[in-house]
Structures are given as C-alpha cells and as structure tokens.
Amino acid sequence: MIRRSFLQLGSAAAGVALVTHATKTQAAEAPPGHAPQAVPAIAPDTPAARSPVVAPGGQVAVVTPNGSTLPWRLVGGVKVGHLIAEPVDHEFAPGLRAQVWGYNGGTPGPTIEAIEGDRVRIYVTNRLPEPTTVHWHGIILPNGMDGVAGLNQRPIDPGETFAYEFTLRHAGTFMYHPHYDEMTQIALGMVGMLIVHPKRPPGPRVDRDFVLMTHEWKLNVGAKRPDPNEMSDFNVLTFNSKSFPATQPLLVGRGERVRIRLGNLGPMDHHPIHLHGLNFKVTATDGGFVPESAQVPDTTVLMPVGSTRVIEFVPDEPGDWGMHCHMTHHVMTQMGHGLPPMVGVDTKKLDHRMSRVMPEYMTMGTKGMGGMGEMEMKIPHNSLPMRGGPGPFSYIDMGGMFTVLKVRDDPAAAPNAWYRHPAGTVAGPANTARMAADGIDPAAASRR
Ligand SMILES: [Cu+2]
C-alpha cells in the first residue's frame, strides 16, 4: 500500500498515518512506493573559481546557480542569441521530475547578460504545442519589440522563429517571459533573467554576482506535469527551479562584496527572502538603481511578483548560512499540504483499533511535525519527502525555497564541505554546575 492510501485512511480518522522504520519489515513488502533517496547535501559543481570580468569597471560575470548563461555570437557589431521555447524534462530535486516548459532545455531559461549600449538580436524559436512570445520585462525598447501578443506583435506559431532586435539603453536587472497564455506558460516554468551591466558602475565593484529566481509550482503527487490552473495552493517552491537540497549553494569569500539579483516571476505569491549571518542593502530594482542615501539596511527582502530586487553585502562572519523564503509553507514540499492538525491529539484508541486491521499503523504528528522529512517512510513514486535534507549535525528541517550561503576565508577551498566550526562556537547541552553558578535553577529546567 502506498503512503497516499495511508494518508487517506489517517485523514478519514482525523489522523496522520505513516510507516516508520520501526515497521520496516512490513514496509519493505509494500508495493510501488519507494524510500526517499539519500541526496548529497551540497551540489557537486559549485562555481568556486573567481568569475571572469565581463564589463567595464571590473564587473564580473553573473553566475546562475543550477542554470546557465546565453552564449552570444558577434555579427557586425550586434550580439546575436537564440532562445528556443520548448518542453523540458526537469528534475526539481532527486526523486521528483516533471514535464515543464522552458528555454534551451532548462527552467529558468539561460540568463541573458549584456552591457549597456549593446545592440542585441535574439531569435526565438517556438517548439511548444501552442503560440508564444517573449516580453523583455523592464527593458525600455521600441514598442513593436515588447512582446505582448495582440498588442505589439502577432503570436509566434509553433515551428516559427521570430527575431527581436533592440539596443539596451539602460543598465539593470531585468527578466524575460512569454506574453501569450501567461497563466499556462509562466506556471510551467517559462522565465529567465536579463542582466545589463552599466557602462559606469554606480557603486563599489563586486566580487560575486549571482541571480536567483523564485518560483512556485502545483505538482500533484504522481502527476506528470505541474498544474498551471492553480491559483493559491502551491506545493513545490524553488530557487532557479530547484528545491533544497538540490539548490546549488552560493560560495563566497569572507570580506568579498557580494551581489544577489533576485527575480520573481512566480504565478501568484510574493516571497520574503531572508538571509542569515549578515545584513544587506537593496541597491537596485527592475526600475533602476537605488541612490545610496535611500538604501535601507535589512535582512529580509520582499520579492513581489513581477519584479527584481538586487541586494549587496560584505559578509564578515564565516559559516554556512541559511537563505530562504520566510513563509513557513514555502520551505515545505508536497507532503506538507492538506494534513489535518494533529498537535496534542490523543490517538491511543485510534492506534489500537487500527492495529487490528493494519499492524504497521502508527498515528504521527501529535507532537509536531519536526523530523517528518527524515523518517524512512515509504513515499509515492516521483514525490519529495515532506521537507529538507541531510545536514552536518542532523537532518535540516527545511526544503523548498531554501539554499545555503557558504562564507569562507578561502572561497576556492573545498566547496562541497560543510563549515568547520572553531571549538567552543557551537550550541550544545548546558553544564548544570555552570547553570547553577549563573543563577539558573536546574530543577526548573527538568520540570515538565
Ligand atoms: Cu515564499
């Protein structure tokens, strides 16, 4: 019996029934489910090397974790690129794949990177089953290049290739996406970033420059494709279309100036993105650069749908720092949805009755949901465990829109390793003698 059936049974009895490793023998006989795969906590191909300088003023190339950059070909002074809109077989994290739509074999599409004043010609080939267009979100260009189907051009039919050509008059952090059947095409993953480096950078030179797009998907357990008709209940939350632990960490050097360009082309939700271990300033939006006098220090930046926010910081505390959406359901995955509230419920009678018909039955969640992700329970084929992934101390209880900012004295060293904490700098069990000396009553601590 697959876990979904257990859930239905459990739900009918206002309980959450899961098979744990305590009942492995029976569980091992269960047919089509599979145990959650052990996944490496750190993606192996972290770009550790220093990025090349690509623009005036020592501006470094943008790095797209889990993504790529669109290659240019220079023809008669024009930068020529090619976007192919097409279906993509995408892995959100090990154990969860789906048929999505994207560009050039991926979602998000390749990051387009250019320099203020560049003339670009971008061919768009449509390999989708329906028409599409590309809108260059935030770019000020001739009206007929803006990509709104019906208003600025006719749609690009399946099999056709259109050419878009314009001059990048303004520097900034922009995006691209279809403006034909947006509801379907954006929800299925057709999004990308468009970075225009300034001719004269307005602020201090940065050492690292990353782009991260937030996105949300409704992917029913067992479904082959995300549901583009969903309006509110999204269950797969991603950075650059990956859920933790598949999100590639951002590796930076202590004391380096770091820029992260965030973009949100998700269908419906804003995301408050929070960084640990540092504070930052918002230096730009898709509307332009924020004057230094107006830059507010912060640790969370709200990412409204259809906008970009650029943050910059200089981390001075080394370590592995969490970076995540602060909406608690956005660090959950498929299994966190639609469960009955169980905290504090007395399930003794239910467990006893259920054990007569299903010996492996055990109601869970009565003490909270912590630890649910790491249990070796059977989960349906092609689904994610409730949340999280393995960490250096124990299971990390967050998944979805979560990644790790790795601040190192030597950013070129051991990108796959967890941070090694100096002795005496990790929280641990308190010493009772020390507690007493500090005026904390050990008896009060042990009272329940
Ligand atoms: Cu969120």
* Average pLDDT value over all residues in the chain: 85
Say how many Å lie between the CA of residue 292 and the centre of ligand 1. Answer: 28
pLDDT (tens digit per residue) in 69-102 = 999 999 999 999 999 999 999 999 988 999 999 9
Say how many Å lie between the CA of residue 107 and the centre of ligand 1. Answer: 18
d(C-alpha 386, C-alpha 377), whole Å? 10
Whether the upstream peptide bond of residue 245 has omega within 30° of 0, thus cis, is yes
Say how many Å lie between the CA of residue 215 and the centre of ligand 1. Answer: 8
pLDDT of 346 reads 77
pTM (whole model) above 0.75: yes
pLDDT of 381 reads 75
Say how many Å lie between the CA of residue 272 and the centre of ligand 1. Answer: 6
pLDDT (tens digit per residue) in 368-403 = 666 666 655 566 777 776 567 889 999 888 889 999
d(C-alpha 173, C-alpha 192), whole Å? 11
pLDDT of 328 reads 87
User: Does the pLDDT of residue 122 top 70, yes or no?
Assistant: yes
d(C-alpha 89, C-alpha 100), whole Å? 6
Q: Phi and psi for 242 in degrees, rounded to 5?
A: -125, 140
Of the ranges 116-130, 333-347, 421-435, which one carries the lowest mean pLDDT score?
333-347
Say how many Å lie between the CA of residue 357 and the centre of ligand 1. Answer: 41
Say how many Å lie between the CA of residue 269 and the centre of ligand 1. Answer: 7
pLDDT of 352 reads 78
Structure tokens at 194: 């468009």
Say how many Å lie between the CA of residue 326 and the centre of ligand 1. Answer: 6
Residue whose structure tokens are 């307005």:
202
Please, which pLDDT band fits residue 342 given cuts at 50, 70 and 90? low
**How far is the CA of 121 from the CAs of 32, 131, 164, in angstroms?**
50, 20, 6
Highest mean pLDDT among 2-11, 210-219, 352-361: 210-219
Say how many Å lie between the CA of residue 327 and the centre of ligand 1. Answer: 5
Say how many Å lie between the CA of residue 158 and the centre of ligand 1. Answer: 34
Say how many Å lie between the CA of residue 290 and the centre of ligand 1. Answer: 24
